[in-house]
Amino acid sequence: MSQYALEVKNLTKKIRSKTIVDKVSFAVEKGEIFGLLGPNGAGKTTIIRMIVSLINRTEGEVVINGHNLDASFAEAMSSLGAIVENPEFYKYMSGYKNLRHYARMAKEEISESRIAEVVKLVGLDNAIHQKVKTYSLGMRQRLGVAQALLHNPAILILDEPTNGLDPQGIREFRDYLHELAATGISVLVSSHLLSEMQLMCHRFAIIEKGKLIHISSMDETVAEGVDELREVTFEIDEANNALELLKSSAVAFEEVSLKKELLTVKLSRSSIPAVNKLFVEKGISVYGINAAKATLEDRFLEITNKKGEEAVR
């Protein structure tokens, strides 16, 4: 058995002379939520559709749970469950009949009790025998998760899953994904919503213009740039004195704003303790220190801008 739930190697898609996806490689570990991040039109959806074999690959290899998509198609496809964009169902049939339909397409027989279990898991017990046309978008999304989980896949692939969901629905969905990941199922999820991905994923790759330009874990990315200046707000009395004090010290900083009891400056992370020490020694009471955390958005813009500048040069 492979250690990865999904491996993608040199995935390339060309339409005529235009390269839409260019040699993208990454791997998703078991029990990991992996994000594909990038602006609209970057090629995220094309990558996902190549993995689930909706779009033909020009080049490259896809290995799902150790099964190569070319060599053992049925085994590979059995190991994945997917929702591609909005989950679409046969609206003239009930949710249950839709699930039966997909259950019949599975390689291994899916029992009635398994269907009931999945329905319960996504909380559709009460509505499962109603026609899908009566479902709300959130219910369809949950039915989508149900059809993707029916056959116990190793990896769940979701393309822009939160599109059209309200904040409440997004939150439920996110919690739900974390629950799934805790049970050992891997998740590959694409989105252009950065803040959403930050809360959802363990690791992520940034895709831009068809290329994978960055890949790292969420903590690393946010922790990176330790020595860069970031905004730090000190809650202190005598903010004016404090500023003067800071100016006369050897600490490198930039002034941002000064209010009565709030001093906001740009500092490197490593000099925060030194500044605190300085204030305390000089008798200034420190009530709080608040270092603004670099968000994924900042990092994302940083990374994409850097690459953009390199390209210009």
Partner 1 sequence: MIGLVQNELIKIFEKKMSWIFAIILIIALVGTAVLELKTSTQQTEDDWKVQVQTEIDQLEKEMEKAPSYEDIPEDDYKTKAKEDIQAEIDSFNGNLNDNVNPYTTSWSYLDYYGIALKSLITLFVVIVCAGNISSEFSDGTIKQLLIRPHRRWAILLSKYIALLIYSAFLIAVLIGIGYLVSIAFFGIDDFSGKLSVQNPTTFEMEAVAGGAYFFQSLLYYLPGLIMVLTLAFMLSTLFKNQAIAVGIGVFVLFFSSTAGALIVGFSEKYTWTKALIFPHLDQTVFVVQDKILENITMPMSLGILGIYYLIFMFITFFFFQKRDISI
The Cα–Cα gap between 207 and 213 comes to: 6
Give me the DSSP letters along 193-215.
-HHHHHHH-SEEEEEETTEEEEE
Rounded to the nearest angstrom, the gap between the alpha carbon of residue 258 and the centroid of all alpha carbons in its chain is: 37
Taking CB under 8 A as the rule, does residue 291 contact partner 1?
Answer: no
Instruction: State which residue, 207 or 284, has the beta carbon closest to partner 1.
Output: 207
Instruction: State which residue, 86 or 233, has the beta carbon closest to partner 1.
Output: 86
> What's the token pair of residue 144?
């989508």
Taking CB under 8 A as the rule, does residue 147 contact partner 1?
Answer: yes
The Cα–Cα gap between 220 and 126 comes to: 43
Cβ of residue 156: shortest distance to partner 1, in angstroms?
12
Instruction: State which residue, 27 or 93, has the beta carbon closest to partner 1.
Output: 93
Find the part of the chain contacting partner 1 (CB under 8 A) among 99-107, 179-187, 279-287, 294-302.
Answer: 99-107
Residue bearing tokens 């690959």: 57
Interaxial angle between packed helices 272-281 and 239-248, expressed in degrees from 0 to 180 and rounded to the nearest 10: 120
Taking CB under 8 A as the rule, does residue 268 contact partner 1?
Answer: no
Instruction: State which residue, 131 or 266, has the beta carbon closest to partner 1.
Output: 131
Pairing of strands 229-236, 254-258: unpaired
Please state the length of the chain.
313
> What's the token pair of residue 47?
């990558």
Of the residues 34, 37, 46, 203, which one makes contact with partner 1 according to CB under 8 A = 46
Of residues 118-137, which lie at the interface with partner 1 (CB under 8 A)?
Answer: none
Taking CB under 8 A as the rule, does residue 106 contact partner 1?
Answer: yes
SS3 assignment, position 277: helix
Cβ of residue 162: shortest distance to partner 1, in angstroms?
18
Asked if 157 contacts 81 with a C-beta cutoff of 8 angstroms, the reply is yes
Of the residues 10, 41, 70, 73, which one makes contact with partner 1 according to CB under 8 A = 73
Cβ of residue 41: shortest distance to partner 1, in angstroms?
12
Catalog residues that contact partner 1 under the rule CB under 8 A.
45-46, 49, 52-56, 73-78, 80, 82, 84-93, 97, 101-102, 104-107, 147
